[in-house]
Structure 1
Amino acid sequence: MNGKISFGAIAILVLGAVLAWGIMNMENLQIPQGHEENGEESFHNESVPRGKHGGWLFVEKDFQVEVKIYEKGVPPQFRVYVMDAGGKPVNHNEIGMNIILNRLDRVDTIGFKPSGEYLLGDKVVAEPHSFEMIVKAKWKGQAFQWELSQIEGRAEFSSETVKNAGLVFKKAGPAKLVTTIRLPGEIELNEEKLVHIVPRVDGVVKKVFKDLGDHVSTGEIIAILESRELAEMKIDYLTASKKVDLALADFDRETRVFESTQIMLDLLEQEQDPEETYRKLKDLVIGQSRELLIPAHAKLKLAKSVHSREKRLLEKGITSESEYLLALEDYKSAEARYIALREKIAYDGEWSLRKKKKTMEMGLLNLETANQKLLALGLSPQVVSQLLEQDDQNFTQYELRASLNGTVIQKHLTIGEAVKKDDAVFLLADLSEVWVNFSIPQKELKRVRLGQKTILKEGQKTLKAKLSYLSSVIDEKTRTVTGRVVLPNKKRNLRPGGYVTVELILEERKVPIAVEPEAIQGFRDWSVVFVKYGSLLEARPLELGGNDGNTVEVLEGLKAGEEYVAVNSYAVKAEIEKSGATHSH
């Protein structure tokens, strides 16, 4: 009795264990049920069991199909194992098979051909493996159809969620890919528009009108000095001017005397009537030459007349030879004196004119020297000329003026301070243009040339320029060459001493499809962007090309015009990972 009770109890326990195991594994053992539709066996179930090869197992009556996506060592491919109800392989030549993959952007239809123990798909199963799959098979005159939803890398975002996540969408399309060298650069003053202001004379500061940061205009008075040296220069200029006035007047009179003397010499040479000659010379300015030459000419005329008369009388025997010889002596003596006097007057007149001219020229030279000294101090020609017109003047006052339109960036003088002529009391800079200098490594020089396009970035600002200077000398310590671009700075936003990033453009090329770098996320082993299909966002694996930091070339995986998440794409990735829409087949 006791033995029978023990056996019954054991039987009950075993039966209970079997039933419990069956209940726990009922879901995995469940065979999908189908229904007839238009003569085809149709199947649809959210949970599909796995076959012995790890693929999805579809069973209907005495027909079994295991669909496997195989991707070990080969691009993803469908392998289909076809069996009867007993698990025995079916002759592949008796099977008609195709699979339709309904993706968000397209439909892929895959055919099959025998390949050993399985049927092999004729197309690569492109990533992502996210699709609605329809498996169609024909065997022994029967048509079978199963449906499977395989979703991965996909999430749904409502318009409100898109807004809250800060997603920004852009369309894929052509872009310009730029290859650059990125270098640090420093903003510097344009040395071609930089001026040191020096007094040029020793003096004491009387007034200062400009301070650091003040704007100045060309010619504007920025300080006033008192200078004894300047006073001496002004006096020298006025003295030279007065001497020139006298020399000019003297030279003018001497010129008129010389010209009148030449007229007198010419008239006396013509042997005209003396009265007529004297009348013509009456109003001319001749000076002492008239006093000497006119009497000598008159004596010559008289001696010549006496000589002629004595000669006639001698020929007639009326006078003695001694009287004639005496008259001849007087005539020759008068003639000699007259000729000598003419020569002396002509020579002395020309010599005196030359002396007066030289005196005048030296006076003009001294005046111009004094004038240039004042101009060299920065005085304008108008100010210098006014020295001759003003009686009451402050000769010691020196006006220090700006020599360009710019800004005071250094100041080294105060009221009452004594300054030297070579002291740099102000530094003025025109900040409407600035330089950006940067060091180019020696190894990059073969790819750098003058005129090359550059992009400069300071904070959020982006500026464009061209390489305007390239040093001819390599720095011995850094093995770099200095490059430079010139930037307009009308708003004074670029401050010398600041730093910028310089991108030298080495190459520019257009690519048919490109996306923004921020859009790309790592997902599984892929680089993906999330493409928009209505409210759905799906990871799209990409084959990437060049990347210039601003644009990434897409070689495969995206078509022009497709919308993708360009900003905050990490939020989409996080949502997909949270939802568990991962790779599973």
Structure 2
Amino acid sequence: MIRCYGRALLLSFLIAGLFLPAHMAMAAGGGSSAAAEAEPEKGPHRGRMLRDGDFALELAIVEAGVPPEFRVWITDDGEAVPPESVDLTVTLTRLGDKKDVINFRPQEDFLRGDMEIYEPHSFVVTIVARYQGETHTWEYDNFEGRVRIADDVASAMGIVTERAGSATLIQRIPAFGRVIPATNAQQRVTARFDGEITAIHVALGQAVSKGDALITVESNESLKPYTLRARLSGEVVSLPVNVGESTAGRALLHIVDPTALLAELQVFPADLSRLAIGNSAELRAGSASLNGNISYIPRQLSAAQSAPVRVAIAQSTSRLQSGQFIQGDLEVDRFEVPLAVKRSGLQGFRDFTVVYAKVGDQYEVRMLELGREAGEWVEVLGGLEPGTEYVSENSFLIKADIEKSGASHDH
């Protein structure tokens, strides 16, 4: 509400953005939570008219060709008052009780404020004008993009907040490939001397230990049997032979150590120079999410004109299988920024990208100037103070509540 002090109280009305107490909303709407809001009187410069008896001023925010600033035109009994004859101060009290005190100097036929009115234009406005020995004071609420939500309600809605601060941004490129055995983590068993297979001591899928008997072969040359043994512990993943068959120089059995797998991802030549040994990787294979580091970058391209980059997997690979498709995001750059917010907290408001700052049980837009983006983080260059508590998850609920209520609904 506008509060006017001086010779007479002539104006009392609600403005856009003013929160109605619940009991006022019920009374105005006959039980409804919404109430019609009176439009403030506008002056010839499309500013807000404020009156105290015959003394009146028009307060407007001017943005054409200049950063947003206040300009004031003054009349007394309908006649223009020379701007230099009025001492004027405007105080803007923002959410969190931060005060911007604006002084004015005469210019042409108006008074011009000495401070930029930065976004959001959401504040309690207090005006003090001194003219011919009398003091005229007004105060009104000018809120936008602001809503009050009790903490227990916000918690039930799943609204999550955190403090804005420094962050490490990691830029990545996508790549696709397969899970393969690590070096020395597989054995393809062949016969040293060709002959007839007389015994198979393992089964497909069986776990074996280093030194276990695998296959017995009767040599064609000596006619004596000899036994092929496992050189490593692992699992039999291929067994394409049967007793009585000839070895015929082929692979008889394939053992893979399932605990020693890595990812081989195909990278385009244009991205290859951006990678470095040790860079991090985020991997996804089926329902498994894993992390790792680049362990090998080839100097030659494959026949498909891509580079098979290998990634050592940091976690257990028990859920993976050799040959399985895998997707990865490979680190190409890493940098520290002094201020960042989570991408999940960003929303659109008018022509701005914003987050919703939380002060007590109130939430209000903060218009952001953004920089680099990487992963879940976005660098903030302006519009937000370090340490501000902001909504990082489910911020769309705040936006919806503000849009539903016109930023004037009181919870």
TM above 0.5, yes or no, is yes
Q: Does the 8 Å contact 1:185/1:436 carry over to 2?
A: yes
* Alpha-carbon distance in structure 1 between the residues aligned to 2:10 and 2:288: 60
Q: Does the 8 Å contact 2:196/2:220 carry over to 1?
A: no
* Alpha-carbon distance in structure 1 between the residues aligned to 2:76 and 2:326: 73
> Which structure has greater helix proportion?
1
Find out whether 1:486 has 2:315 as its counterpart: no
Matches within 5 A, 1:56-455: 56-86=48-78, 88-105=79-96, 106-225=98-217, 227=218, 229=220, 232=223, 396-414=224-242, 416-449=243-276, 451-455=277-281
| 1:476 shift after superposition | 6.4
Q: Deviations over 1:521-541 (max 9, x none)?
A: 111111111111111111111
Q: Does the 8 Å contact 1:433/1:488 carry over to 2?
A: no
Residues 230 and 214 of structure 1: CA distance in aligned 2, closer, same or farther (over 3 Å): farther
Q: Does the 8 Å contact 1:35/1:43 carry over to 2?
A: no
Q: Does the 8 Å contact 2:260/2:317 carry over to 1?
A: no
Residues 484 and 421 of structure 1: CA distance in aligned 2, closer, same or farther (over 3 Å): same
Residues 474 and 230 of structure 1: CA distance in aligned 2, closer, same or farther (over 3 Å): closer
Q: Greater shift after overlay, 486-495 or 54-63?
A: 486-495
Matched residue SS, 2:271: helix
Q: Does the 8 Å contact 2:288/2:319 carry over to 1?
A: no
Q: CA RMSD in A?
A: 2.6
* Alpha-carbon distance in structure 2 between the residues aligned to 1:224 and 1:481: 41
Q: Does the 8 Å contact 1:45/1:148 carry over to 2?
A: no
Q: Does the 8 Å contact 1:230/1:398 carry over to 2?
A: no
| 1:422 shift after superposition | 1.7
Residues 488 and 553 of structure 1: CA distance in aligned 2, closer, same or farther (over 3 Å): closer
5+ long unaligned stretches in structure 2: 16-39
| 1:165 shift after superposition | 1.7
* Alpha-carbon distance in structure 1 between the residues aligned to 2:387 and 2:3: 43
5+ long unaligned stretches in structure 1: 1-31, 233-395
Q: Deviations over 1:472-505 (max 9, x none)?
A: 2245653x33322222564423333334443333
Matched residue SS, 1:129: coil
Opposite residue 99 of structure 1, the aligned amino acid is V
> Which structure has greater strand proportion?
2
| 1:180 shift after superposition | 2.9
* Alpha-carbon distance in structure 2 between the residues aligned to 1:462 and 1:90: 73
Q: Deviations over 1:428-474 (max 9, x none)?
A: 1123222322233222344334x241222315624131x32222224
Opposite residue 505 of structure 1, the aligned amino acid is E
* Alpha-carbon distance in structure 2 between the residues aligned to 1:70 and 1:109: 17
Question: Among the aligned pairs, what percent are the same residue?
Answer: 30
Residues 204 and 488 of structure 1: CA distance in aligned 2, closer, same or farther (over 3 Å): farther
Opposite residue 82 of structure 2, the aligned amino acid is N
Q: Does the 8 Å contact 1:79/1:118 carry over to 2?
A: yes
Structure-2 residue corresponding to 1:274: none
| 1:561 shift after superposition | 2.0
| 1:192 shift after superposition | 3.5
Residues 562 and 151 of structure 1: CA distance in aligned 2, closer, same or farther (over 3 Å): same
Structure-2 residue corresponding to 1:509: 335
Q: Does the 8 Å contact 2:291/2:315 carry over to 1?
A: no
Residues 433 and 489 of structure 1: CA distance in aligned 2, closer, same or farther (over 3 Å): farther
Matched residue SS, 2:80: coil
TM-score (norm 1): 0.60
Structure-2 residue corresponding to 1:568: 394
Q: Does the 8 Å contact 1:223/1:401 carry over to 2?
A: yes
* Alpha-carbon distance in structure 2 between the residues aligned to 1:191 and 1:405: 14
Structure-2 residue corresponding to 1:552: 378
Residues 510 and 100 of structure 1: CA distance in aligned 2, closer, same or farther (over 3 Å): same
Matched residue SS, 1:418: coil
Residues 446 and 191 of structure 1: CA distance in aligned 2, closer, same or farther (over 3 Å): closer
TM-score (norm 2): 0.84
Find out whether 1:526 has 2:352 as its counterpart: yes
* Alpha-carbon distance in structure 2 between the residues aligned to 1:412 and 1:205: 12
Residues 141 and 184 of structure 1: CA distance in aligned 2, closer, same or farther (over 3 Å): farther
Q: Which protein has the larger Cα radius of gyration, Structure 1 or Structure 2?
A: 1
* Alpha-carbon distance in structure 2 between the residues aligned to 1:201 and 1:163: 73
Matches within 5 A, 1:16-27: none
Residues 457 and 43 of structure 1: CA distance in aligned 2, closer, same or farther (over 3 Å): farther
Matched residue SS, 2:384: coil
Q: Does the 8 Å contact 1:190/1:434 carry over to 2?
A: yes
